[in-house]
Amino acid sequence: MSALQTLGDVVAVAFLLLGALLCLTAGIGLLRFPDVLTRMHAGTKPQVLGVLLIMVGGAIRLQGWSATWMLLLVAVFQMLTAPVSAHMVSRVAYRRRHVRRDRLLVDEQHTAGQDRLYRGDEPADAPPEEPATALAERVRENREDGTR
Amino acid sequence: MTIVYWLTYGMLGGGALLALVRLGLGPSLLDRVVATDTLLVIIAAGLAVHAGLARDPTLVPVLVVVSLLAFVGSVLVARYIGGMLLRSADDGQDVGLPEAAEERAARASEGER
Amino acid sequence: MTSDPAPGPGSRLAHQLRHQLPLLVWLVAVWNLLWGTWSWANLLAGIVVALVVTWLLPLPPVVGGARLRPLGLLVFLGTFLADLVYSGAEVAWQTVRPSGIDRSAILRVQLRTDSDLLLTILSESVTLVPGSMVMDLDRERGVLVLHVLHVRDDDDVERQRASVLAQEERIVRAFGTDDEIAALSRAPGEPFPAAERRTP
């Protein structure tokens, strides 16, 4: 019995260490990667694999059924919700042109002229896709603001 | 066991610190959303590691709340930024959520009438 | 999908119940897991809460006409877990290695299934595997747009595309109906025949 418990402890601690390592690499990836989409890959990785490892490790160590069920619930929630938020953020990121297009090998979703004029959250170095139209729209809007 | 404590908390703290740096640096709002999301996940992982290493299940309910909170927060900000889009190539409906199958069927049957 | 021509009120109720039952069971299970202990009081309270939640916040029916095949499910789950661990290690290595990542790619993949449930499972599992992320899903044409973290050359791109299609096949073999399994052999890019289009 005690040998089994020691084995369980070793496995649990190994899982916890691996999960913590994945969290560290997530931080490194967040800092090193060039744009929002690649950083999201770094961010979602511990959300899934790391959380799964840590939950399993914690469940082995805790030994109470109540805590085990709740950890299972956390893991299931993570697996259900992480793709949804990743999808929403990446969709908006692509449309608002946070993507470093020079770092893409292929871009089969190329959508020209989707957003001509931006105001709000775009990075400062993102040029408008149609500069002439954007300029005309900005001039017109400024004029409308003036007359109001 | 002390070594395990130092290693896990060190790695988690390092990850959290790097995420904080990205949160401060991040050139755009979306970078900060991603960084906050990762930070919350690392915090949840830290709570779970504490519960596992100390055999202390008191903090486990907090984990459920934190994991759901991260989701709600990032979806909210993503929708908010999506709403800032001025114009889109389509009718502008696809900026937020894609149309549900039910709405599409309703629109199609309306068109037939 | 069998649809009787004139559903009476009784069969309509049964139809609604069949669609809502998985959701109700899931909500009761979550309620019991949150309490952590199993008791009759928890079960009854869970049923009441689940009924109130589904009555106040109704969802469009998605789970319809799905079959569960144990063998296909095992194959899918096993491959998914192996994929998760392998790609997780790969992405972790890519973040810490000195050369970092080089090129990413945005791909469009033409899918062969046309069911809300299967497409949801597919995009969730593709996003959960590290290194690939679903950006968009063109529901009308059945095209999945995904972002891949690291590709070296065009061969890599094709390999990623083939892996998504293989994942789709595993999911259809685990959850799909006979019609949908037959649809797998249709050439990609071919439009969906109107008769096969499933509307919930």
Q: In CATH terms, is domain C70-196 a member of 3.30.70.920?
A: yes
| Contact state of B27 with A20 under an 8 Å Cβ cutoff | no
Q: What pLDDT is recorded for position C70?
A: 85
Q: Quick one: DSSP state of residue C191?
A: P
Q: What pLDDT is recorded for position A74?
A: 87
| Contact state of C199 with B101 under an 8 Å Cβ cutoff | yes
Q: Does C116 touch chain B (CB under 8 A)?
A: yes
- Rounded to the nearest angstrom, the minimum Cα separation between C134 and chain B is 14
Q: What pLDDT is recorded for position C178?
A: 77
Of A29, A99, A105, nearest to C103 by CB-CB distance is A105
Whether the per-residue pLDDT at A81 is higher than 90: the answer is: no
Q: What is the pLDDT of residues C56-115, one digit of tens each?
A: 887 766 655 667 788 888 999 999 999 888 888 888 888 888 877 777 888 888 888 877
Q: With contact defined as beta carbons under 8 Å apart, do B46 and B12 qualify? A: yes
Where exactly are the structural domains of chain A? 2-101, 112-148
Contacts of B98 in chain A (CB under 8 A): none
Of A42, A48, A108, nearest to C95 by CB-CB distance is A42
pLDDT along chain B (113 residues), means of 10: 87 92 83 88 89 84 85 83 55 44 60 56
Q: Does C84 touch chain A (CB under 8 A)?
A: yes
Provide the 3-class DSSP secondary structure of residue B88.
coil
Closest-CA residue of chain C to A82: C128
Q: Does C58 touch chain B (CB under 8 A)?
A: no
Q: Which residues of C150-166 are buried (b: 16+ CB within 10 A; e: fewer)?
A: bbeeeeebeebbebbbe
Which candidate in B102, B104, B107, B109 is best for mutational testing of the C interface (most C CBs within 10 A)? B102
Where exactly are the structural domains of chain B? 2-87
- Rounded to the nearest angstrom, the minimum Cα separation between B1 and chain C is 26
- Which percentage of chain C shows pLDDT scores above 90? 4
Of B30, B33, B45, nearest to A51 by CB-CB distance is B45
- Regarding an ipTM greater than 0.90, the answer is no
DSSP of C10-55: HHHHHHHHHHHHHHHHHHHHHHHHHH-S--HHHHHHHHHHHHHHHH
| Contact state of B102 with C34 under an 8 Å Cβ cutoff | no
More confident residue, A13 or C190: A13
- Rounded to the nearest angstrom, the minimum Cα separation between C179 and chain A is 27
| Contact state of C149 with A86 under an 8 Å Cβ cutoff | no
Q: What pLDDT is recorded for position B98?
A: 45
- CA dist., res. C70 & res. C67, Å (int): 10
Contacts of C131 in chain A (CB under 8 A): 41
- Rounded to the nearest angstrom, the minimum Cα separation between C135 and chain A is 5
Whether the per-residue pLDDT at A107 is higher than 50: the answer is: yes
Q: Which two tokens stand for residue A4?
A: 């089994």
Contacts of C62 in chain A (CB under 8 A): none
Of C103, C106, C124, nearest to A83 by CB-CB distance is C124
- The answer for residues whose C-beta is within 8 angstroms of residue C94's C-beta and 6 or more apart is C100, C101, C149, C150
Which chains border A (3 or more CB–CB pairs < 8 Å)? Answer: B, C
Of B29, B41, B81, nearest to A47 by CB-CB distance is B41
Where exactly are the structural domains of chain C? 9-56, 70-196
Kindly give the confidence (pLDDT) of every residue in chain C, 200 residues in length, as a single tens digit, with 9 standing for 90 and above.
444 444 455 566 666 666 677 788 888 888 888 887 778 888 899 889 888 888 888 776 665 566 778 888 899 999 999 988 888 888 888 888 887 777 788 888 888 887 778 888 888 888 888 888 888 887 777 888 888 887 888 888 888 888 888 888 888 888 877 777 777 776 555 555 444 444 44
Contacts of B34 in chain A (CB under 8 A): 30, 36, 39-40, 43, 89
Q: What pLDDT is recorded for position B103?
A: 56
- Rounded to the nearest angstrom, the minimum Cα separation between A53 and chain C is 10
| Contact state of A64 with B34 under an 8 Å Cβ cutoff | no
CB pairs under 8 A between B and C: 13
Task: For C84-128, give the secondary structure using H, E and C.
Answer: HHHHHHHHHHHHHCCCCCCEEEEEEEECCCCCHHHHHHHHHHHHH
Q: What pLDDT is recorded for position B92?
A: 41
